[in-house]
Amino acid sequence: MPEKPSHQNLSDTRGNGLGIAFFKFCLRLLGLRFCLAFVWVVAAFYAMFDRKALAAAEPYLRSRFPQDKRLRRHFHRLITSQGRALLLAHWLRTGHKIPRTDVNPENRETLFAVKAHGFIMLMSHVGCWQATIPRMEGFNQNVNLLVQENQNAALGQLLQGSRYRIINNKAPFGGLLECLGALERGEILCVMGDRLPSDSPSQLTLTLHGRTLRIPEAPWLLAARCGVPIFPIFTLMRQSPLGIDYIFAPPIRVDYHANRKPVPEDYADALNTYQNLLESIIDNEPYQVFHYNT
């Protein structure tokens, strides 16, 4: 069965004020590297006692490791990776820098070549995906983010410049009119591609290693209607040396010329390309893909 849309992300219900204050204190006193290592200890607690989180991660982990019985071991590594991603996101949010590398820079140059006409940047819940947002400061272009209502506060802390605008998916028509206006102005529209917004009426399905996800139709519909490319970007974390690899995938175009509203079949080839990209990340970095059933 396809995964049910999430009304509240798992990370929204994990952690408490004391734990967050502890890590903030450790960051100031002992530095980022110590905290990144100490997350392993905290994650062990979740691996042993947080049954709800384990159940939420189980469908993804079983699809990736179908023959492996050591589910808690994989869950521990997954939670450790997510904890490190949250620490790095906080580190960036407070004005610090992290070494970064652009992978496939030729695709990044293609992105700059079309940016005057607007394009869709497709993020995924991979690695420290929050680092995509400060990375866009170098594009020197207005950026619009279509986000869920419960992400506004966290994203707002990341947006320090005046070139960012949040589009709430609770706006009329799910924010599509605002998204259309941004693309017509030649701006960047940034959308999360692998998680369905709460109560979204427009959705598509994606199959990853036999596991079916419901994903938002919005980026694919806008790409078809506006004739703009979709640029997937993935932010993988490196431990040694510490840093983030920004993987710029080749642009995806929705080949659509009919005089009617697009139907799921019109997106098939484009979705297959995105599916292959995600499966490649899952194969190579299984603990940096954060797909939960909640």
The pLDDT tens digits for 238-272 are: 988 899 999 999 999 998 888 888 888 999 999 99
| φ/ψ of residue 146, rounded to 5 | -85, 115
pLDDT of residue 152: 44
Given the DSSP bridges, would you call strands 211-216 and 203-208 parallel, antiparallel or unpaired? antiparallel
- End-to-end, the C-alpha distance of the chain in Å comes to 14
Condensed to tens digits (0 to 9), the pLDDT of residues 192-226 reads 999 876 556 678 999 999 999 999 998 999 999 88
Return d(Cα 272, Cα 287) in angstroms, integer. Answer: 22
Q: Which amino acid is at 193?
A: G
**CA distances (Å), 165 to each of 120, 122, 246, 280, in order?**
14, 16, 22, 31
Closest CA to 292 of 52, 56, 109: 56
pLDDT of 83 above 60:
yes
This prediction's pTM: 0.87
Average pLDDT of the chain to the nearest whole number: 84
